[in-house]
Amino acid sequence: MLQKILGCVVIVMCAAKIGFDEAARFTRRVREIREFQTALVALKGEIGFCKTPLPQALAKVGQNLKTSIRHIFIKAGGAMKEGGRYADEVWETTVSTVKKDLSLKSEEIYILNTFGKLLGTSDVVGQIENIELTSSKLDICERQALDDEIKFARLYRSLGVIGGIFTAILFL
């Protein structure tokens, strides 16, 4: 009997963990979008006010970030510093490498890639417009991500726990 009870506890805990992990992805997605927007504001300052070249600007912005978004900036900055490749190519490669560590959806990844297409190719005004356009697109994504978090985060947590209890009852 003790073994059965222990087994049930393990099942419930595992199922709850899966539910909580899934719920955390919704929270992380909101955080990542917000952090990318913060990074864009910092990049706007580096480009608009200091005219810092992209490799240094991206690396500098990346150092102040905390989520996995920082890897995009730091890796892209490092690759651009080495030279020999176009900025958009470096950015797209970096995003595709890092995206497995991100909780962003495909539409947000698409926005990130579109942002990279115009990176470094125009004057300051053009760069600022690109940043602002990306930021406004991400505003919409942030609202959607917040709605999803409210709707689904609690749902996944509850589903995990309830699913675990239900499976445990079936085993008993």
Q: Which residues bind another protein (CB under 8 A)?
A: 47, 51-55, 57, 80-81, 83-87, 90, 119-124, 126-127
Closest separation between CB of residue 40 and another protein, Å? 15
Closest separation between CB of residue 25 and another protein, Å? 33
Cβ closer to another protein: 81 or 99?
81
Reading phi first (left if > 0) and then psi (alpha if -120 to 50, else beta), residue 84 is in left
Matching residue, tokens 């609690």? 154
Matching residue, tokens 């595992």? 14
Closest separation between CB of residue 123 and another protein, Å? 5
- Cα–Cα distance for residue pair 28/104, rounded to 1 Å: 8
Cβ closer to another protein: 12 or 119?
119
Closest separation between CB of residue 118 and another protein, Å? 11
3-state secondary structure of 121: coil
Cβ closer to another protein: 53 or 109?
53
Q: What is the dihedral of CA 40, 46, 47, 48, to 10 degrees?
A: 100
Cβ closer to another protein: 77 or 163?
77
Residue pair 139/162 in contact by the 8 Å Cβ criterion:
no
